[in-house]
Amino acid sequence: MDLYLLESMSIILITAVVILLIFNKLKLPSMIGLFLTGIVLGQFITSTSLITEISELGVIFLLFIIGLEFSIEKFSSIKHYAIVGGLLQVVITTLLVMLLSLCAMPLNRAIFLGFLVCFSSTAIVMKLIQKKQLTHTLQGRVTLGILIFQDIAVILVLLLTPLLGGESINLALLPQILTKLVALVLIILVVGLFIVPRALKEAAKTKNRDLFMLLVLFICLGTTFGTSAIGISPELGAFIAGLIISNTDYAHQTLGYIQPFQDVFMSIFLISIGLMIDVNYFIQNILLIVAFSIVVLLLKFVATLITGEVLKIPIRTTIAISILLSQIGEFSFVLAGVGITHGLLTNELFTMFLAVSIITMSSTPFLQNITPRIVDLFKRIPYFQVDEELSMIKEEEVQSQILENHVIIVGFGVNGKNLSRACYHYHIPYVIVDLNPLIVEKEKALGLPIIYGNASNESVLKELKINDANCIIIATSNYESTLTTIDAARRLNPDIHIIVRTRYLKNVDEVYAAGADVVIPEEFETSIVIFTKLMDYYNKDVDEITDTIDTLRSDNYYEFRSVAPDELTTKLNENLTDLMVESLYVKDKKQLDEYEFKKHDLTVTAIIRDNKTILGISPKFELIEDDLILFTGSQENIEFFLKDYYNVDGGI
């Protein structure tokens, strides 16, 4: 392995960790810290080509995730803002920048510079919207619509860039190009509609995380390679790969698997941008850089303000949106790199652009904090009728599927099915998540609100609207997954009520410590059910049964968390009067009717085998070694039975 690469990556990572820790203490955006990491390290690392190549994977994964998160439903609910608002914002910004730039550069470069400036940072803006809980406001919806349009538009601009750089379309090659495009569309349709969904389903059925993740990575990188091989940009290939998976039931789980890769490589990408900054140039031209940054912020603010006026959005909301979208986005860095390749940017202009971009991105959180002051300035202008509060989105424009104050049911086994029926009966909004693709496919066809995924994955929990949920019920049998789900749910929504079903009493304390509010151990509850049925069979008083059960459940099962099965009968007997519960271990294979329980007027209530409780036993039930028989009867009858059959070894 290349030791230089290891050395460089180690230095980069430890520097980033230190700087991000400081930024976290100061409550400053991580993105600025990553830029600063690159700027600092740029003074010591001489060769950055290898790091830049690695960082390009961050762009690939980012576009893959954008395709993955894109859905027709999401787009259709905000199509007016996305199409009209997005188009206006991009076109107006590009025109304003182009007109100002024409005095210093030719038309093609001026247009390209307009394209560079018109895109905003999806990463920064969406984090701010989520942090301020603006998702369902008019401000959040319009902003999201414009960002979606920009994400799609950047693909088109990447395709147009070679033409702006002077490359001409050879008409003789047009049939060949069209053939490639038609073939690509056909392949995408076949792969997207038939092959990928089937492959993902088969991988999901195995419940093998590594297999599923490797398949997803192959789809992402394989599609990217395929489009590159026929002369189409790898960025478009990554977007198409995400788009293919977005129409399957496995999009949310895929997002969870791919997100860590995207986060790591995108961080390296942002650091690599900082590495490109010439500190000496930055210091020498600081006033010019700041001036250009202010011009960019003002131009984008004005362009979005005009867009808001056309859409007839209240001015206060328009101002807030204009501030949110005033920075240059991360896609512009990708576009700038392509522009250099095609001679649309000089090295000096590229350095200036990077510096201006970093300043505009860094200023966004601070500008958002002073939004009220900017609104006050607009109040002094007679033309603007400033509303007093940020407008909420109109009721008819809100998606009917928005979940609020709902219950999340994790696992759709017997418990999950019963819980969903109860929620449906009492009109409690709920959503289900399960890792069995066959169950998800079947129940979704029946109209149940269910998605495929692992609830321990943050991306899946976000899709389940964990932030708006009141309660999450974890009814799966995987103990490790239960603990990670509790941790993720508590981090994403500290106030959510967490109810957990666990199999064994010994796990109760650990589950409570992990953050659960209520823990129901299946092992102990089974004995409670057996006891209740037994008491009902003997016509015991309901109040007496209830009091006994309450006693058994007191102190959160404290007495029973480390109780062996044979000790459980002793504790049950402490609460009973004329009826005894007893247990015996089996030493040899026999049928149940070979033991004369009926002759001694005793009732077998259950068999415990390998920590599993077996009910509804027939007389011909086959017993095996180490089975534990639970039976009930009067003390006198039990003593006669034991006298006849109990041997010296303590087994039967």
pLDDT at 568 (0 to 100): 47
In a domain, 221, yes or no: no
pLDDT at 649 (0 to 100): 45
In a domain, 203, yes or no: no
Query: Looking at the structure, do residues 73 and 135 belong to the same domain, yes or no?
Result: yes
CATH of the domain at 431: 3.40.50.720
Calculate ∠ Cα 270-272-278, nearest 5°: 110
Q: Is 256 exposed, middle or buried (0-12, 13-18, 19+ CB in 10 A)?
A: buried
Query: Looking at the structure, do residues 284 and 315 belong to the same domain, yes or no?
Result: yes
Query: Looking at the structure, do residues 14 and 53 belong to the same domain, yes or no?
Result: yes
Query: Looking at the structure, do residues 489 and 412 belong to the same domain, yes or no?
Result: yes
Q: Residues 290-311, buried b or exposed e (16+ Cβ, 10 A)?
A: eebbeebbebbbebbbbbbeeb
pLDDT at 408 (0 to 100): 95
The rounded average pLDDT for each run of 10 residues, N- to C-terminus, in the chain (652 residues) is: 71 88 84 86 72 73 77 67 88 93 89 92 76 72 83 81 75 67 79 87 86 90 82 76 85 81 78 82 91 94 91 86 90 86 87 90 86 83 60 42 81 86 85 90 86 88 89 87 91 90 82 88 69 68 67 52 48 52 81 83 80 71 84 81 64 44
Query: Looking at the structure, do residues 157 and 277 belong to the same domain, yes or no?
Result: yes
493: left (phi over 0), alpha (psi -120 to 50) or beta: beta
Query: Looking at the structure, do residues 431 and 288 belong to the same domain, yes or no?
Result: no
Cα–Cα distance, 113 to 276 (Å, whole number): 19
Helices (H), ranges, 233-313: 234-246, 251-275, 279-284, 286-310
Query: Looking at the structure, do residues 349 and 411 belong to the same domain, yes or no?
Result: no
Residues 6+ away with beta carbon under 8 Å from 196: 219, 244, 245, 248
Query: Looking at the structure, do residues 332 and 447 belong to the same domain, yes or no?
Result: no
Asked if 326 contacts 358 with a C-beta cutoff of 8 angstroms, the reply is no
Q: Strands 612-614, 603-609: parallel, antiparallel or unpaired by DSSP?
A: antiparallel
pLDDT at 377 (0 to 100): 83
DSSP 444-464: HHTT--EEES-TTSHHHHHHT
Query: Looking at the structure, do residues 156 and 289 belong to the same domain, yes or no?
Result: yes
CATH of the domain at 79: 1.20.1530.20
In a domain, 230, yes or no: no
In a domain, 242, yes or no: no
In a domain, 209, yes or no: no
SS3 for 500? strand
Amino acid residing at 226: G
For residue 464, the enclosing domain spans 403-502
pTM, 2 dp: 0.62
Q: Strands 622-623, 612-614: parallel, antiparallel or unpaired by DSSP?
A: unpaired
Query: Looking at the structure, do residues 338 and 418 belong to the same domain, yes or no?
Result: no
pLDDT at 560 (0 to 100): 46
Half-sphere exposure of 365 (CA within 13 A, CB side): 16
DSSP single-letter state for residue 505: G
Domain C-terminal end among 321, 346, 369: 369
CATH of the domain at 564: 3.30.70.1450
Query: Looking at the structure, do residues 151 and 293 belong to the same domain, yes or no?
Result: yes
Query: Looking at the structure, do residues 470 and 608 belong to the same domain, yes or no?
Result: no
Q: For the chain, how many structural domains are there in total?
A: 3
pLDDT at 1 (0 to 100): 52
Asked if 162 contacts 340 with a C-beta cutoff of 8 angstroms, the reply is no
Calculate ∠ Cα 105-110-116, nearest 5°: 130
In a domain, 536, yes or no: yes
In a domain, 423, yes or no: yes
In a domain, 162, yes or no: yes
